[in-house]
Every structure is written in structure tokens, then in C-alpha cells.
């Protein structure tokens, strides 16, 4: 918090100059390798503590250590977010990752008792700060998120087909198998089990099929159609990922390849030649005149 005048480029306002210098210094500190490493270590430590607390024996015996440790880590996180907000100002709130960190740390402040206590389970989302803090994780998550719009239409198609399937199944089989197809919610879970091949055909469809063999046809069509759509969802993602890759490559190629340059050279050489021949012609015209 010294006042050394490093702010040469700042406009001379009476109030803000020292604050601005502070901001820059805080930003440098918050983004320094050492501080980042400390935060990552604390996130990992916090993840371990949250995991250990699921064991009742551990909580009973080590609570005197884990509870303060937990509170200390949260305090550091709150301080870190505060410093980052101070350093980046409004732009902090414009960054998706910034808002994500703020949200996740805020969850830590939910009281352990009262109506909102059930939200305490969201505390563990803090571990996801690893995704926002480690650079390579950030890139991977970014790539996955950008892949989502490309598959949105096929995803919507899947949802529509799935919805039609469960409404039909509820209408058809609520009488035969009320425990699996009693209402839309139950049917949704039963059909999800059938779709992902989680033993649903044996547990759910077989008893129905014994009463109504035609039911198999319905479920066969459902499985084949949804599998085909999921397959195409998969392909859409693959094709897009490959294209993005290829695009990047061809952009690299454009700057490095000398193909067009070569042809430019050729054209230039030929034009030089034309000029030479033209001057030759003019020269022939010149000396030829006095001869005649």
C-alpha cells in the first residue's frame, strides 16, 4: 500500500490514482503462479475434507480438525473472490468463470440448519473450482460447452421423441403395469432405464410382454429409434469436432504454404518476359525505320 508513482499513464484525478495502482498490484498478485497454486491446493484439500466428512467415524473423531480447516478454506476463498472483484471491477461480473466462482463460493455461506440446509449438499460444487482455476481444465470445459449448440437440434429431437414415447407408454401400459407406467414421471424413469440398456427390458418389459406380446413391438421401435437418434447425436458431435480441427489446420496451412506465392512468382516472371519482348519489338521498329 505504498504510494510510489508507477501510474505515469493515469489521468491525474484527485481520488482514484492510488486505488488504480492498488488494483493493478492486486490483479498481479491474484494472477501470480504462487497464489494460483495455493488456491488449487486448497481446492484439492477441501475436496478431500468434504470426502472424509461422509464417513461418520471420521467426522466423530476428527471434527475438531476438519471443521476449522473447512472454515479457514472458505475464508481464503471469500478473500480471494473479494480481491479479484476489487482487481477487475465490473469486468469480473462479465466473465462466466468469475460468476461461476462467485456462485460456488456463495453456496459455502448457506447456514447448516434451517430451511436452506438441504442446499448445503451443493457445498461440494466448490470442488468444481478446479475447472475454473486450472488452465488446461478451463480449455477442455470451454471446448465441451462450445460443442453443445451444434447438437441442440438433435438433442431437441431426442427430447420430443422421448416425450411422445412416454406419453404413449403411459396410456398403453398403465393398466398392465401400474408400478412402472402409472404416471408420466414413473414412465419417464422406466423408459430411461430401457433406453440406456440398464436391465429395463428384463425387469419391466418382460412381465408386460407376457400379458401383451405386442408390447415388445412398441419397445423395440422405441429402442431402435432413440438409439438411432443418439447415434446421430454422437456423429454430429464427431463431425463438428473434426471440422473445427480441420478448419484450424487449414488456417495454419494458409499462412505457411507457399503455393499461391509460387504462382505469383511465375506470373511475375512471365510479365517481365512480356515487357522484355515488347521492348525488343520497339527496338526492332526503331532501327528498321531508317533502313527503309
Footprint on residues 158-217 left by its own copies (CB under 8 A): 160-161, 163-164, 167-168, 170-172, 174, 183-185, 187-189, 192-193, 196-203, 205-206, 209, 213, 216
Compare residues 31 and 203 and give the one whose CB is closer to its own copies. 203
Q: Report d(CA 13, CA 23) in Å as an integer.
A: 15
If one asks whether residue 117 binds its own copies (CB under 8 A), the answer comes out as: no
The CA-atom distances, in angstroms, between 64 and each of 51, 108, 134 are 16, 19, 31
Min. distance of Cβ 199 from its own copies in angstroms?
4
Least Å distance between CB 91 and its own copies? Answer: 26
Exactly one of 242, 251, 252, 255 binds its own copies (CB under 8 A); that residue is 242
Kindly give, in sequence order, each residue whose CB lies less than 8 Å from that of residue 18, ignoring residues fewer than 6 positions away.
Answer: 3
CB of 24 to its own copies, least distance (A): 31
Nearest one of 118, 212, 146 to 173, comparing CA atoms: 212
Stretch that binds its own copies, among 11-19, 87-95, 108-116, 280-288 (CB under 8 A): 280-288
Residue with cell 478451463: 138
Distance of alpha carbon 20 from alpha carbon 28, whole angstroms: 12
Euclidean distance between CA atoms 280 and 233, whole angstroms: 68
The CA distance from 172 to 162, in Å, is 15
Closest separation in Å from C-beta 193 to its own copies: 5
Q: How many residues bind its own copies (CB under 8 A)?
A: 100
Give CA–CA dist 164/205, Å, rounded. 18
Q: Does 273 bind its own copies (CB under 8 A)?
A: yes
State the Cα–Cα distance between residues 168 and 219, nearest whole angstrom.
11
Window 243 to 262, contacts with its own copies (CB under 8 A): 243, 245, 260, 262
57-96 residues in contact with its own copies (CB under 8 A) are none
Min dist CB 102 to its own copies, Å, is 18
Long-range contacts of 205-212 (CB under 8 A, 24+ apart): 207/177, 208/173, 208/176, 208/177, 211/176, 212/173, 212/176
Nearer Cβ to its own copies (1/109): 109
Question: Does residue 47 interact with its own copies by CB under 8 A?
Answer: yes
- The three cell numbers locating residue 193: 432405464
Binding region for its own copies (CB under 8 A) out of 15-23, 33-41, 60-68, 274-282: 274-282
Nearer to its own copies, 3 or 253 (CB): 253
Taking CB under 8 A as the criterion, which residues in 122-161 touch its own copies? Answer: 122, 124-125, 127-128, 130-131, 136-137, 139-141, 143-144, 147, 153-154, 156-157, 160-161
The secondary structure of residue 292, as a DSSP letter, is -
Alpha carbons 221 and 169: distance in angstroms, whole number: 12
Amino acid at each position: 500500500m505504498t504510494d510510489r508513482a508507477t501510474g505515469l499513464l493515469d489521468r491525474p484525478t484527485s481520488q482514484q490514482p492510488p486505488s488504480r495502482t492498488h488494483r493493478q498490484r492486486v490483479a498481479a498478485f491474484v494472477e501470480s503462479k504462487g497464489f494460483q497454486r495455493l488456491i488449487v491446493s486448497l481446492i484439492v484439500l477441501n475436496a478431500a475434507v468434504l470426502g472424509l466428512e461422509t464417513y461418520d467415524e471420521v467426522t466423530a473423531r476428527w471434527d475438531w480438525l476438519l471443521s476449522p480447516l473447512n472454515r479457514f478454506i472458505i475464508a481464503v476463498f471469500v478473500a480471494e473472490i473479494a480481491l479479484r472483484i476489487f482487481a477487475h471491477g465490473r469486468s469480473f461480473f462479465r466473465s462466466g468463470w468469475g460468476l461461476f466462482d462467485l456462485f460456488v463460493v456463495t453456496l459455502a455461506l448457506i447456514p447448516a440448519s434451517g430451511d436452506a440446509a438441504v442446499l448445503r449438499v451443493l457445498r461440494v460444487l466448490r470442488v468444481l473450482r478446479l475447472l475454473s482455476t486450472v488452465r488446461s481444465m478451463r480449455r477442455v470445459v470451454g471446448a465441451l460447452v462450445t460443442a453443445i449448440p451444434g447438437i441442440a437440434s438433435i438433442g431437441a429431437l431426442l427430447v420430443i421423441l422421448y416425450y411422445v414415447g412416454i406419453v404413449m407408454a403411459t396410456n398403453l401400459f398403465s393398466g398392465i403395469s401400474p408400478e412402472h407406467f402409472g404416471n408420466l414421471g414413473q414412465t419417464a424413469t422406466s423408459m430411461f432405464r430401457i433406453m440406456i440398456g440398464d436391465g429395463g427390458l428384463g425387469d419391466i418389459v418382460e412381465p408386460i410382454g407376457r400379458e401383451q406380446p405386442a408390447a415388445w413391438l412398441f419397445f423395440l421401435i422405441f429402442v431402435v429409434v432413440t438409439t438411432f437418434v443418439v447415434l446421430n447425436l454422437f456423429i454430429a458431435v464427431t463431425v463438428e469436432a473434426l471440422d473445427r480441427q480441420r478448419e484450424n489446420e487449414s488456417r495454419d496451412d494458409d499462412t505457411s504454404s507457399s503455393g499461391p506465392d509460387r504462382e505469383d512468382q511465375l506470373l511475375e516472371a512471365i510479365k517481365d518476359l512480356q515487357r522484355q519482348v515488347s521492348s525488343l519489338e520497339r527496338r526492332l521498329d526503331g532501327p528498321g525505320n531508317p533502313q527503309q
